[in-house]
Every structure is written in C-alpha cells, then in structure tokens.
Amino acid sequence: MFKNVSFRILLIILTVSIISIQSCGNKDDSVKKDSGKTGSSDLVKKDEKGQKANLKIAPKAGDKFRYKMTAKTVSKETSPATKDKEVTTEQLMTYYYSQEVADVNNDGVITFKMKYDSIIILSKGSAGGQEQSILYNSNRKDSISSKPDFIQYNALIGQEFRLRISPLGEIYDIFELEKIHDNIFKVFGDTLSNQDKQTIKESMGSDALKSVIQNQFQKFPGREVYKDSTWNFTVETNLIFFPAKNILDYKLTDIKEENGDFICTIEANLGIEFLSKEQKEKELTFKITDSQTGGKGTVVFNLSKGCIKKKETTTNITLDLKLSAKGQSAKSKQVLSTMLNVDLLQ
C-alpha cells in the first residue's frame, strides 16, 4: 500500500524575515550630528528610552552592489518508500549576482537592475551506502550544463532584468525577462508549441525568481524600534501537507557606527506552530505524531546605505508521521535542515 508513495519533504528555504521601522521624532534627538550623509539624523535617534533605529531599504540611484548567496538544504527520509532505510539528499546552491539602483521614486520604491554572474549547484544523494553527486557550474560548459534540469540556470547568466521593491523590503514584481525566456526557447529550437512557451514563461516568471531573491531582503513593518527591544511577526504557510504558522521573534541587539555608516545587528528566532496535524490526500491519511522545529538567524544591516551587509539563517525540522490507508498503517520520519547565507561582496 505504501511502498509506491514518496513522502519526501519539498526542498524549501524558510526565510527568516527581519522587521523594520518607520521614522518619527525630533531631529534634536539624533545620536550625533549629520556627518555629511543625507538623512543620517533620521535613521538613528536617542531619547529618554535609549537609541532607536528607522530600518528601511533605502539605497540611492546609481548605487551598485555585488552579492554572494549560499543556500544549503539537507533532507533525510525513512519510510516505506525507502524500504525503511534512511535516504539522504543534499543540495548546495551558490549564486553570485550584481544589482544596480536604476531609480527610486517619490514613495521610496526602488527599481534594481539585476543579473546573475554565476551559479554553482552541488547535489548529493546517498542510500544504502551508495552515493551519487552532480555538479553544475555555469562558468564551464560540459555535459551537465546541457541537461534539462540546468537549462534555466544557463539562461539566467549575464542577462539583465529588473525588480521593484518597497522600502519595507517586499518585492513587488520582477520584469524584463524576455531575453531569459528567449535563451530557453533557443535550446529547444522549433519543437516548442505556444503552450510550451507559456509554460516556460510561467516557470521562469516573476514569482519563481521572487521566491529566491526575496531571501536577500527583509520585510519591515514600518515603525521605529529601540536597541535591545524585541518584536514578533507571524505568517501562515504550508509544511509538506500541513498548514502551519511561522512565529518570528526579533531583537535589535546592536547599533554602531562603522566607517561613517550606521550598522544594525538583529537576532531572530523561528518557531513553527502546526494549525492541523492530520491531513488527507486521496485515500491516504498523514498524521504528525511528534515534531521538533525551530530556527535562528542573524542579520547585519547597513542602515546608512539601506542594504543587507550579511545574513545567516538556519532551520531544523524533524517530523514523525503515521500513514494510514484502508486499515493499514506505517511510519515515516522526515528531517529537513536548511542554511542560508547572504554576503555583500562590494
């Protein structure tokens, strides 16, 4: 009954969102006088309660940034589908990309010109003592780069597109993707129907890229926050088949001046609450019998430049499941750990 059913956890990266804050107060409360950086007195202030910061995404037109993003996912499964043996899969993805601020409108909405310079993907799998690995590197052309799984990454390299993001860190849309789509179409020649092309556009559209790029940024709530104060944010999501709620707790642990810029450090903790521990898919019932979930993160934010300087997040999820169908039952164990690092290179 259960041997032909795979319950592998979807490879996901749980984004640890750090919240930001909108400015208010008197200019007389500033920590120190404006040292030549426009608006610095509005970013960090001091009153009888202490220092407070106005966190927001606020670069200037013409600013250029280069980033490295590393995402590692390790999943382990023990279930009837794996003949009750532990099967491990691991994926390490490294992105190098550049962004340039093309425009900042009157509402503070930023338009970035962005392109990927290189992408490296290492996938590993092990079961029963056997290991397999695949390495994709966009910097070299080999048999791996021509495989269907990697065509979309080849199409991205060196192609400029644009994204719009609010000062509160939410990506509105990603556009000017036509050249990327054309690169994919060329690989398939005349074999694609109009429906095929539409499917490719959807799979490599704004939403697909947004889910990756949003990890670089943080979503901010639009209020000021004091040093050493805490706040939280919740968002509903789905983990495998189960509706859940991410509970994110934050603390602004440090505000300091470094080379003329204000640098903020924010610590984050992630809790996961399952809204339902039993779900059905056709004739099969999944029930969580035990769970261990959590995560943490650290974000170093350059307040003066309005950009992430460094971000590190980790999550760990272990689920024990009971699978039931037509009077039969079986057990499954799923383990997922993720790591996300974002580094500003220049």
Position 288 pLDDT exceeds 90? yes
**pLDDT given for residue 191 in this prediction:** 84
**pLDDT given for residue 41 in this prediction:** 60
The answer to whether 37 touches 67, Cβ cutoff 8 Å, is no
Tell me the pLDDT tens digit for each residue of 105-161.
Answer: 999 999 999 999 999 999 998 876 778 899 999 998 887 878 888 889 999 999 999
- Cα separation values, 122 from 58, 66, 72, 89, Å: 34, 22, 9, 11
Arithmetic mean of pLDDT, 256-260: 92
The per-residue DSSP string of 161-208 comes to EEEEE-TTS-EEEEE--HHHHHHHHHHHGGG--HHHHHHHHHHTSHHH
Identify the H or E element spanning 153.
Answer: helix 151-156
Position 284 pLDDT exceeds 80? yes
Candidates 230, 241, 335, 231; CA nearest to 291 is 335
Sign of the dihedral through C-alpha 13, 202, 204, 343: negative
Q: Give the model's confidence band at 31: pLDDT under 50 very low, under 70 low, under 90 confident, else very high.
A: very low
Whole-angstrom distance, CA of residue 333 vs CA of residue 191: 42
pTM above 0.95, yes or no: no
Residue 10 placed within a domain: no
Tell me the pLDDT tens digit for each residue of 89-108.
Answer: 999 999 999 999 999 999 99
Q: How many domains does the chain have?
A: 1
The answer to whether 92 touches 122, Cβ cutoff 8 Å, is yes
**pLDDT given for residue 196 in this prediction:** 85
pLDDT > 90: percent of the chain: 55
**pLDDT given for residue 29 in this prediction:** 36
Mean pLDDT, the chain, integer? 84
Residue 9 placed within a domain: no
Higher pLDDT, 333 or 147: 333
Arithmetic mean of pLDDT, 270-286: 91
3-state DSSP call for residue 80?
helix
Arithmetic mean of pLDDT, 274-285: 90
106: CATH:
2.30.230
Residue 11 placed within a domain: no
Residue 12 placed within a domain: no
Tell me the pLDDT tens digit for each residue of 322-332.
Answer: 999 888 899 99
Residue 15 placed within a domain: no
8-state DSSP, 8: P
Arithmetic mean of pLDDT, 14-21: 33
Residue 73 placed within a domain: yes
Position 220 pLDDT exceeds 90? no
Position 27 pLDDT exceeds 60? no
AA letter at 77: E
* Measured distance between the N- and C-terminal CA atoms of the chain, rounded to whole angstroms: 55
What is the domain extent for residue 139? 27-344
**pLDDT given for residue 263 in this prediction:** 95
Whole-angstrom distance, CA of residue 249 vs CA of residue 19: 9
Q: Give the model's confidence band at 318: pLDDT under 50 very low, under 70 low, under 90 confident, else very high.
A: very high
Residue 3 placed within a domain: no
Position 24 pLDDT exceeds 90? no
Residue 38 placed within a domain: yes
Most confident of 9-23, 83-97, 180-194, 225-239: 83-97
